[in-house]
Amino acid sequence: MPEPGDVSERFWNEFPEMARMPLSHQHERGLRPELLDRDTSEEFVEPMVEDLPDGANLDSLDDKPEDWTSGFDVEQEDGRNPVMWGEAVVRLLQSHEDCRNTTLHLERGYPGDPGHATHDVEADNRWMPSYQKKKFAEMNGWFREVVGVGERPSGESPDGIMEHPNVVLLTRSASSRPGKYKLGPVDHADQLRDSWTAVYHKMRNHFRSLGVEWQYDKRVEPHPGDGENQCYPHEHIVLLIDSPDLQLSDLRPIVEEHVETCDAAGPVAHDLDVEDWDANREDVGTAEIRKPDEIDNLAAYVCDYASIEPADLLERELPYVAFAASMWAVNAQTISRSDAACRASTADACKQRFEHSQCDQDLDHGEEIRRKEIRQQRKLVCAECGSPHGIDQSQTLVEAKHGTDDGPTAVADGGRDWHEEREDSLRDRWPSADAAVAVGEQPTRTGREIRNPDDSDKGKAITDRDIRLLVRGLGEGVRRPEWMKDGWILEHDPRYRPDPDDPLVYSAWSRAPDLRDPLPRIVVFLQERYSLHPDRIAEFVHQERADYDPQEDMVSFRRPPAWRLDAITVHGERHSVDDGGGGVQLVETRLSGEALKDWIRRNTRILEMAADTCGQLLWKGSHTRVSDVVDRLAERAGASVDRCEHIIEAFVDVPHRPIPWWEPECWGCSDGEYEGDRETSTWECWNCGDQYPIQ
């Protein structure tokens, strides 16, 4: 295995220009704290004798700090500038080497618990072979479940869920030099990342209009070859699309959206100069469509396309190491997948655990299910792995549990297991609890008020229990005359309202529905009187029809002891783990010095202003070279790029072009004069050689 120092030294020697480039030229761009050079200065604070209270003197003070008499130095931060790309490579490889020599000490439960155990594992990260192998296995599982290609280790070969699968390989890239200046690696990656949302929405809407199902796996990798973009990232999107007649032209709108929303992306680089993609498939490299049966080893083919290689970072080519440093600098995600792709891979792993003799999983995927809230939707999922892949979502929980042959296909409450749903809700509400129990119904308040019959402002906030009692009243005949008084129904529940003189008041309707009436009619009736969500009303109605009352139900759960990280050992030294949480905290850049000057040249109109004046500007009324103007701008702006434009407006003007035979004084040195004749296009200073073009 190569040494980290040798790899970083090779990068500095083989790519000196890139190694000396700052990671970013952006102001307020978040980077890892260790990748920021802090620009500091010291300021002397004068003695504070003058700040003594009136009538006080030093001798009368019980505590006489030295600062009162001698003053002190204060260190202040003038800026936070990104380190060079080469320095980021050095620090990434140091961090990677530390990880390679790190052991994680795991503990389950606590000493004295029945299930207490300890276990040590070697640490890994995304730049190690183990991570690459895991991603290769996940991609294999994805293809097996969706396309039906390949076998699991047990020899089982599942049928894919797509009838007409297509494998689409799509590439998104951006130029590292879209204009006059070359982008920093972080800024270039931001160009790709910032345009992804628009591209994703375009894919979603476009494929929806085509009426096809699709899933994706997106990976960021270094650009191949030794051109201008070497070491910079580009993006591969692997799409599985279910369509019998998918054409390359169907993918063109997606590429067009990328070029339109990514400033650094060019149309020619994405084959948009080829008018007819279907007729000129050999000229299109941005997009490719393959049938699964056309490829011997689909996963290996796609992994080669996406640069998935089971090699350690120290063994990778230098462009990959440089790319990794730019991703590590901002903790950027290099792999993302659609929810459907993740769920398919999870289901494949679940089936493998069931089929493997050394795993203690007794149930196959989907053999036992439960309800789970996924992205604010209740779904039926596998009880073992939590994935809804391959589970019919149109059936009820009762149908899914009992099957259509040996169990009920419908029940009064729509087939929902209310007790289990409450138990799942309790688990989700207390994810860190070892055990919990809930008795009765929580008196959730909706925040709305029940008004009195005289329509006065006095009232009480309505609760879930109040709504339940109102729904229950529909089943007990709310139209009985003895229940009504001046068009109002008076009902009292001693469990909730112990004061019999303060009854719960509901408005009534002479044509109130019955609990057995169609649900929409009940919803309309209640919504006319209370601002209740239809789903909440439907839930109460279903529960009452099933004769289920949460007030009389008790739910509980108990979790087995879970594994937790107790300590780590790095290079033989053991460290305790802080329970305060982990994660990378990025710190924003605050440009100063040369970095700020570079920002001024790149992001203000200062060079454009001086384009036709031989690089000269009027700084506070005096002719000054633009380079000196930039220096003075940076000095006055400090570390605040927001002030630069304001200072330009206040102090900088564009001089009128002088006629050298009328105003011959040299702008460059002020000691000589421009010489020439009216027939020449360029005059030159006899003293410093500065040239002045005449248009």
347 found inside a domain: no
Predicted local distance difference test score (pLDDT) of residue 442 = 63
485 found inside a domain: yes
- Angle of helix 129-146 relative to helix 298-305, nearest 10 degrees? 130
Q: pLDDT band at residue 61, thresholds of 50, 70 and 90? A: low
CA distances from 491 to 275, 494, 497 (A): 74, 10, 10
Residues 622-645 have pLDDT tens digits of: 888 899 999 999 999 888 888 888
Residue 631's SS3 state is helix
User: What is the rounded average pLDDT of the residues 588-598?
Assistant: 92
Cα 281 to chain centroid, rounded: 35
Residues 100 and 5 both lie in one domain: yes
Predicted local distance difference test score (pLDDT) of residue 497 = 40
Predicted local distance difference test score (pLDDT) of residue 447 = 42
Mean pLDDT of the chain: 83
Residues 27 and 46 both lie in one domain: yes
User: What is the rounded average pLDDT of the residues 284-310?
Assistant: 84
Residues 223 and 275 both lie in one domain: yes
Q: Is the pLDDT of residue 264 over 70?
A: yes
Contact 185, 231 (CB under 8 A): yes
Q: pLDDT band at residue 294, thresholds of 50, 70 and 90? A: confident
Residues 216-246 have pLDDT tens digits of: 999 999 998 888 999 999 999 999 999 999 9
Q: Is the pLDDT of residue 453 over 50?
A: no
β-partners of residue 288 are 169
Residues 95 and 210 both lie in one domain: no
30: its two tokens: 């978040």
Residues 177 and 251 both lie in one domain: yes
Predicted local distance difference test score (pLDDT) of residue 443 = 60
Domains held by the chain: number: 4
Q: pLDDT band at residue 693, thresholds of 50, 70 and 90? A: confident
Burial of 390 (0-12, 13-18, 19+ CB in 10 A): middle
Q: Is the pLDDT of residue 478 over 90?
A: no
Instruction: Please report how many Cα atoms fall inside a 13 Å half-sphere around the Cα of residue 436, on the Cβ side.
Output: 13
CA distance 476 to 487: 17
Predicted local distance difference test score (pLDDT) of residue 50 = 59
431 found inside a domain: no
Predicted local distance difference test score (pLDDT) of residue 21 = 96
Q: pLDDT band at residue 401, thresholds of 50, 70 and 90? A: low
Alpha helix (H) residue ranges in 81-174: 85-100, 129-146
Contact 505, 442 (CB under 8 A): no
Residues 106-148 have pLDDT tens digits of: 998 888 887 889 999 999 999 999 998 999 899 999 999 999 9
CA distance 8 to 19: 10
Predicted local distance difference test score (pLDDT) of residue 596 = 93
Query: Of all residues in the chain, what percent carry a pLDDT higher than 70?
Result: 83
Q: pLDDT band at residue 406, thresholds of 50, 70 and 90? A: very low
Predicted local distance difference test score (pLDDT) of residue 396 = 59
Residues 308 and 176 both lie in one domain: yes
Residues 597 and 648 both lie in one domain: yes
Question: Of 685, 585, 683, whose CA–CA distance to 695 is shortest?
Answer: 683
Encode 562-590: b = buried (16+ Cβ within 10 Å), e = exposed.
eeeeeeeeeeeeeeeeeeeeeeeebeebb
Range of the domain at 189: 162-337
Of 618 and 424, the structure prediction assigns the larger pLDDT to 618
Contact 474, 489 (CB under 8 A): no
Query: Of all residues in the chain, what percent carry a pLDDT higher than 90?
Result: 46
Predicted local distance difference test score (pLDDT) of residue 53 = 59
Residues 176 and 317 both lie in one domain: yes
Q: Is the pLDDT of residue 36 over 60?
A: yes
Decide which of 312, 337, 362 is a domain's last residue. Answer: 337
Amino acid occupying residue 508: A
Q: pLDDT band at residue 492, thresholds of 50, 70 and 90? A: very low
609 found inside a domain: yes
Q: Is the pLDDT of residue 276 over 90?
A: yes
Q: Is the pLDDT of residue 104 over 50?
A: yes
115: its two tokens: 């299930």
Q: What are phi and psi of 106, to 5 degrees?
A: -100, 150
Residues 315 and 182 both lie in one domain: yes
435 found inside a domain: no
130 found inside a domain: no
304 found inside a domain: yes
**Element (H or E) spanning 289, and its range?**
strand 287-290
Concatenated DSSP letters of 301-357: HHHHHTT-----GGGS-HHHHHHHHHHHHTT---EEE-HHHHHHHHHHHHHHHHH-T
Residues 523 and 505 both lie in one domain: yes
Predicted local distance difference test score (pLDDT) of residue 313 = 95
Contact 201, 338 (CB under 8 A): no
Predicted local distance difference test score (pLDDT) of residue 524 = 85
CA distance 81 to 519: 64
439 found inside a domain: no
Q: pLDDT band at residue 513, thresholds of 50, 70 and 90? A: confident
User: What is the rounded average pLDDT of the residues 269-278?
Assistant: 95
Decide which of 337, 357, 385 is a domain's last residue. Answer: 337
Residues 567 and 492 both lie in one domain: no
Q: Is the pLDDT of residue 507 over 60?
A: no
CA distance 682 to 691: 6
Residues 531-575 have pLDDT tens digits of: 778 888 888 888 888 888 888 888 898 887 888 888 999 999 998
Q: Which of 38-42, 103-107, 637-641, 655-659 has the lowest mean pLDDT?
A: 655-659
Q: Is the pLDDT of residue 671 over 50?
A: yes
Predicted local distance difference test score (pLDDT) of residue 114 = 79
Q: Is the pLDDT of residue 258 over 90?
A: yes
Residues 678 and 538 both lie in one domain: no
Q: Is the pLDDT of residue 584 over 80?
A: yes
CA distance 348 to 299: 15
Predicted local distance difference test score (pLDDT) of residue 691 = 83
CA distances from 606 to 78, 181, 480, 516, 648 (A): 23, 15, 84, 77, 8
Decide which of 337, 354, 380 is a domain's last residue. Answer: 337
Q: Is the pLDDT of residue 157 over 80?
A: yes
Residues 178-221 have pLDDT tens digits of: 988 999 999 999 999 999 999 999 999 999 999 999 999 999 99
β-partners of residue 377 are 374
pTM for the structure as a whole:
0.75
